[in-house]
Structure 1
Amino acid sequence: MLTLQQATKLTLQLYNMTIIDISTLPSYIDQNFLVVDKDDTKYVLKIMNSEESENDSRLEVQTLAMSFLNQHGIPCQTAMLTTTGQLMHMEEIDCGQGAQTYYVRLMNYLPGKTIAESLITVQDFYQVGKLAAVIDTTMQQYVSPNLHLLKGNQRWSLSNIPLIEGYLSVMDGDPLQEVIKAVIKQYESHVIPKIGSFRKGIIHGDMNDHNILVTPVDNGRHEVSGVLDFSFLMIDCYVFEVAVVIAYMMLENPSPLDVGGAVLAGWESVTVLSDEEKDSLFLLVLGRLCQSLVYGRYNAIKYPDNDKYILSTAKSGTRLLNKLWEMGKKDVERKWFTDASTFSDK
Structure 2
Amino acid sequence: MSEISVNSSHTLFKTGAMSIKKASKPSLSDAQVTEITARLFGLTVSSIHPLPSYDDQNFHLVCVDAGDFVLKVMNSTDSENMKLLELQTYSMNLVQQNGLPAQTALRTVTGEMMSLEEIDCGYGLQKYLVRLLTYLPGTPMAKINCTPQLLYETGKTAAMLDNILLRMEHESLSALHRENFIWSLSCVPLIDDYLSVMDGDPMQLVIRGVINHYRNQVVPKLPSFRKCINHGDLNDHNILVERDGPSRYKISGILDFSDMSSGYFIFELAIAIMYMMIESRNPLEVGGPVIAGFESVFPLNSDERDALYTLVLSRFCQSLVYSRSAVLQQPENEMYLMITARNGFRLLKLLWEKGKEEVEKVWFEGAAHISMLNGDNNSLI
TM-score by length of 1: 0.97
Inter-partner Cα distance in structure 1 for 2:144 and 2:121: 34
Q: Which runs of 4+ in 1 moved over 4 A?
A: none
Residues 1:276 and 2:303 are matched in the alignment: yes
Alpha-carbon distance, 1:332 to partner: 0.5
Alpha-carbon distance, 1:113 to partner: 0.8
Question: Given residue 79 of structure 2, which amino acid in structure 1 is its aligned partner?
Answer: S
Residues 1:34 and 2:76 are matched in the alignment: no
- What are the residue-to-residue correspondences of 1:44-59 with 2, within 5 Å? 44-59=70-85
- What are the residue-to-residue correspondences of 1:243-282 with 2, within 5 Å? 243-282=270-309
Deviations 1:240-288 (A, max 9, x none): 0000000001001111111111100000000101110010101100000
1:202 maps to what in 2? 229
Aligned-partner SS, 2:116: strand
1:6 maps to what in 2? 32
Question: Given residue 61 of structure 1, which amino acid in structure 2 is its aligned partner?
Answer: L
Deviations 1:278-315 (A, max 9, x none): 10101100000100011111222334443321211111
Q: Is the 8 A contact 1:121 1:220 kept in 2?
A: no
Alpha-carbon distance, 1:233 to partner: 1.3
Residues 1:79 and 2:105 are matched in the alignment: yes
1:128 maps to what in 2? 154
Q: How many residues align?
A: 346
2:13 maps to what in 1? none
Alpha-carbon distance, 1:53 to partner: 1.2
- What are the residue-to-residue correspondences of 1:145-294 with 2, within 5 Å? 145-153=171-179, 154-294=181-321
Alpha-carbon distance, 1:202 to partner: 1.2
Q: For residues 14 and 40 of structure 1, do their structure 2 counterparts lie closer, same or farther at Cα, with a shift above 3 Å needed?
A: closer
Q: Is the 8 A contact 2:43 2:66 kept in 1?
A: no
Alpha-carbon distance, 1:40 to partner: 5.7
Q: 1:18 aligns with which of 41, 44, 54?
A: 44
Inter-partner Cα distance in structure 2 for 1:186 and 1:60: 36
Larger mean Cα displacement after TM superposition, 295-304 or 40-49? 295-304
Larger mean Cα displacement after TM superposition, 282-291 or 88-97? 88-97
- What are the residue-to-residue correspondences of 1:96-115 with 2, within 5 Å? 96-115=122-141
Q: Is the 8 A contact 2:139 2:240 kept in 1?
A: yes
Inter-partner Cα distance in structure 1 for 2:66 and 2:40: 19
Inter-partner Cα distance in structure 2 for 1:208 and 1:22: 26
Q: Is the 8 A contact 1:215 1:225 kept in 2?
A: yes
Aligned-partner SS, 1:119: coil
Q: Root-mean-square deviation (CA), in Å?
A: 1.3
Larger mean Cα displacement after TM superposition, 240-249 or 98-107? 98-107
Alpha-carbon distance, 1:47 to partner: 1.0
Inter-partner Cα distance in structure 2 for 1:28 and 1:335: 36
2:145 maps to what in 1? 119
Unmatched runs of 5 consecutive residues or more in structure 1: none
Deviations 1:102-150 (A, max 9, x none): 1110001000011111221111000010011111112222110111111
2:377 maps to what in 1? none
Q: For residues 95 and 301 of structure 1, do their structure 2 counterparts lie closer, same or farther at Cα, with a shift above 3 Å needed?
A: farther
Larger mean Cα displacement after TM superposition, 85-94 or 323-332? 85-94
Inter-partner Cα distance in structure 1 for 2:305 and 2:29: 47
Inter-partner Cα distance in structure 1 for 2:308 and 2:96: 29
Question: Given residue 83 of structure 2, which amino acid in structure 1 is its aligned partner?
Answer: S
Inter-partner Cα distance in structure 1 for 2:267 and 2:171: 25
Deviations 1:163-189 (A, max 9, x none): 001011122222211111111111111
Inter-partner Cα distance in structure 1 for 2:314 and 2:76: 27
Unmatched runs of 5 consecutive residues or more in structure 2: 1-26, 374-379
Deviations 1:170-228 (A, max 9, x none): 22222211111111111111111111111101121111111100011124221000000
Aligned-partner SS, 1:328: helix
1:307 maps to what in 2? 334
Larger mean Cα displacement after TM superposition, 207-216 or 152-161? 152-161
TM-score by length of 2: 0.88
Aligned-partner SS, 1:170: helix
Alpha-carbon distance, 1:44 to partner: 0.1
Inter-partner Cα distance in structure 2 for 1:83 and 1:103: 16
